[in-house]
Amino acid sequence: MSVPPVPVLTLNDGRTIPQLGLGVFKIDPSETTQVVLDAFELGYRHIDTARIYNNEEGVGQAVASSGIPREDLFITTKLWNDDQGTDTAFAAFEKSLERLGLDYVDLYLVHWPCPAKNLYVESWQALEKIRASGRARSIGVSNFLVPHLERLLKETHIVPVVDQIESHPAHQQPATEAFATAHSIAVESWGPLGQGKYPLLELPQVTSAAAAHDRSPAQVVLRWHIQRGHIVLPKSSQRARLAENISVFDFELSENEMAAITAVESVGRVGSNPNEMN
Ligand code: NAD
């Protein structure tokens, strides 16, 4: 099946990123290579992993055996909380590259701010050096709230290219999004489908748009993220759902449909609270 190509967005450092990627959180390490190869076959070129997902090797094996030129792929991994600090961040980055079997990653993120540790500024300074070495082409953060972003902007040199945050119709984080946008930090939506923990796909606003466009509810929610200008990282290990989730670039939600989904009642996060995760 051929689907329209995934558009790219330009980041604040001038590099480009496919607007939709496959998130591999909770994909079993033994299945990861095959799932990522399936995704590549279906047109995905952007993969979001992390040291804590324990499947960087599987992603790397898929990259190596895919035959796709490295420069056509966009691979993200993340610095885990226990590795925050200066020397620890350098060492953790080396190990991630080794597990991935890559010379460089396209994007390296600080996974959580971990405010009680108070090491995210030092960690970010380590990422600045890693970027200068060329082995992380771009650097960004994840789960940073406004006070964490403000501190980085004040105390360090490089503005993160992205903030990867929990974002879906029932938890939109308007303050973080507004701050990020004002500073040219792109928003990446994690848990874009609410991790299946909140019945997003059964909301009447979503099911009526799905019926109107002859699409699935998941496609409508993903399209809502895309039209908001977010980078979106849906996860699935099922080939049919991988195909469904990338087929969101040949229809458009109307302003009214967008507004109705944006007006969904906020029930709060389905994941961890960035102020409490350490
Ligand atoms: P998600 O919202 O992508 O939900 C995934 C679940 O949605 C699947 O397990 C499946 O049950 C369901 N689903 C997927 N496609 C579907 C479809 N077409 N129809 C119906 N149901 C479908 O949640 P996620 O995996 O937590 O988030 C996506 C990615 O974001 C992760 O894989 C990871 O890469 C990233 N992430 C990052 C953080 C972070 O702290 N930075 C945290 C969580 C996730």
Return the percentage of the chain with pLDDT > 70, whole number. 99
- Distance in angstroms (rounded) separating the CA atoms of residues 71 and 190: 24
Write the pLDDT tens digit of every residue in 160-183: 999 999 999 999 999 999 999 999
The Å distance, Cα 142 to ligand 1 centre, comes to 15
- Distance in angstroms (rounded) separating the CA atoms of residues 17 and 9: 5
More confidently predicted of 198 and 156: 156
The pLDDT of residue 62: 98
Write the pLDDT tens digit of every residue in 250-278: 999 999 999 999 999 788 888 999 999 98
138 lines ligand 1 (CB under 6 A): no
Q: Is residue 220 over pLDDT 70? A: yes
Q: Is residue 38 over pLDDT 80? A: yes
DSSP assignment of 85-154 equals: SSHHHHHHHHHHHHHHT-S-EEEEEE----TTTT-HHHHHHHHHHHHHTTSEEEEEEES--HHHHHHHHH
- Please state the rounded mean pLDDT for residues 42-59: 98
- Distance in angstroms (rounded) separating the CA atoms of residues 236 and 259: 27
- Distance in angstroms (rounded) separating the CA atoms of residues 104 and 134: 7
The pLDDT of residue 199: 87
Which pTM value belongs to this model? Answer: 0.97
Q: Is residue 56 over pLDDT 90? A: yes
Write the pLDDT tens digit of every residue in 86-101: 999 999 999 999 999 9
The Å distance, Cα 232 to ligand 1 centre, comes to 10
Split at pLDDT 50, 70, 90, the class of 234 is: very high
Residue matched to tokens 């997902």: 53
Write the pLDDT tens digit of every residue in 102-140: 999 999 999 999 999 999 999 999 999 999 999 999 999
Which of 78, 182, 176 has its CA nearest to residue 127? 78
Q: Judge whether 44 counts as a catalytic residue.
A: no
Residue 9, strand partner residues: 17
Q: For the chain, list the domains and their CATH numbers.
A: 8-197+224-236 (3.20.20.100)
- Please state the rounded mean pLDDT for residues 230-244: 98
Split at pLDDT 50, 70, 90, the class of 2 is: low
233 lines ligand 1 (CB under 6 A): yes
The Å distance, Cα 180 to ligand 1 centre, comes to 22
Nearest ligand 1 atom to alpha carbon 168: 2
Half-sphere exposure for 52 (CA within 13 Å, toward CB): 11
| Of 193, 216, 223, 277, best ligand 1 pocket probe by most atoms within 8 Å of the beta carbon | 193
Which of 168, 122, 163 has its CA nearest to residue 146? 163
The pLDDT of residue 87: 96
